[in-house]
Amino acid sequence: MSEKSWWKEAIIYQIYPRSFRDSNGDGIGDLGGILEKLDYIERLGINTIWLNPIYQSPNDDNGYDISDYYSIHPEYGTMDQFEELLAALHGRGIRLIMDLVVNHSSDEHEWFVNSKDPREDNPYHDYYFWRKGKNGGPPNNWQSFFGGPAWTYVVEKDAWYLHLFSTKQPDLNWENPRVREEVKDVLRFWLDKGIDGFRMDVIPCISKNLEFADADNSDFAHVIEYVYSNGPRVHEFLQEMHRDVLSKYNIMTVGEGPGISQERANLYVGKSRGELDMIFHLEHMGIDHGPGGRFDPKPMDLSAFKQLWVEWDKAMGDEGWLSVFLDNHDFPRMVSRFGDDQQYRVESAKLLAMLILTMRGTPCIYFGSEIGMTNVSFDSIEDYRDVETRNFYRIFREKGLSEQEFLRLVEQQGRDNVRTPMQWDNSTHAGFTTGTPWIQVNPRYTHINVAQDHKASDSIFHFYQEMIAWRKAHSVLVYGSFTEVVTDHEHLFIYDRKSVDEHYRIVLNLGSEQVSRPELSGFALVFGTHEEQDPDLVGPWEGSIYQKIEV
Q: Which residues in this chain contact ligand ISL in the complex, by CB under 6 A?
A: 61, 64, 101, 145, 165, 201-202, 224, 256, 258, 282, 286, 293-294, 329-330
β-pairing verdict for 289-290 and 293-297: antiparallel
In the complex, least distance from residue 24 CB atom to Ca ion, rounded to whole angstroms: 5
Q: Virtual CA dihedral for 17, 372, 339, 198, nearest 10 degrees?
A: 30
How is 342-381 classified by DSSP, letter by letter?
A: STTHHHHHHHHHHHHHHSSSEEEEETTGGGT------SSG
The site for Ca ion, by CB under 5 A, has a size of: 5
* 50 binds, options Ca ion, ligand ISL, none, Cβ within 5 to 8 A by partner type: none
351 binds, among ligand ISL, Ca ion, none (CB under 5 to 8 A by kind): none
Rounded Cα distance, 78 and 272, in Å? 39
Given ligand ISL, Ca ion, none, residue 224, with its beta carbon under 5 to 8 Å by kind, binds ligand ISL
Q: Does 319 bind Ca ion (CB under 5 A)?
A: no
- Please, which residue, 294 or 530, has the CB nearer to ligand ISL? 294
Cβ 280 to ligand ISL, closest distance in Å?
9
Question: Per rule CB under 5 A, is residue 34 in the interface with Ca ion?
Answer: no
Q: Choose the binding region for Ca ion from 14-22, 283-291, 324-332, 455-463 (rule: CB under 5 A).
A: 14-22
Minimal distance, residue 253 CB to ligand ISL, in Å: 15
* DSSP category for residue 128: B
> Nearer Cβ to ligand ISL, position 138 or 255?
255
CA distance 15 to 441: 16
Residue 24 binds Ca ion, judged by CB under 5 A? yes
Closest by CA to 96, choosing from 107, 108, 86, is 86
Catalytic-role residue among 60, 256, 327, 542 = 256
User: How many other C-beta atoms can be found within 10 angstroms of the C-beta atom of residue 59?
Assistant: 20
- Per the rule left: phi > 0, alpha: psi between -120 and 50, beta: everything else, 88 is alpha
Instruction: Considering the complex, state which of residue 20 and residue 325 has its C-beta at the smaller distance from Ca ion.
Output: 20
Q: Is 201 a catalytic residue?
A: yes
Q: Are strands 48-51 and 95-100 parallel, antiparallel or unpaired?
A: parallel
- Residue 62 gets the label, from left (phi > 0), alpha (psi -120 to 50) or beta, of left
Closer CB to Ca ion, 26 or 182, in the complex: 26
Picked from Ca ion, ligand ISL, none, the partner binding residue 26 (CB below 5 to 8 A depending on kind) is Ca ion
Identify what 334 binds: Ca ion, ligand ISL, none; CB under 5 to 8 Å per kind: none
Measured from each CB, the residue nearest to ligand ISL is 64
To ligand ISL, the closest distance from the beta carbon of 16 in angstroms equals 9
What, of Ca ion, ligand ISL, none, does residue 30 touch, CB below 5 to 8 Å by kind? Answer: Ca ion
Could you tell me the smallest distance in angstroms from the CB atom of residue 209 to Ca ion?
42
Dihedral angle over CA of 355, 356, 362, 363, nearest 10: -160
Contact 300, 319 (CB under 8 A): no
- Do 492 and 507 form a contact (C-beta atoms < 8 A)? yes
Spatial distance between the Cα atoms of 291 and 301, rounded to a whole number of angstroms: 15
Catalytic residues: 201, 256
Binding residues for Ca ion, per CB under 5 A?
22, 24, 26, 28, 30
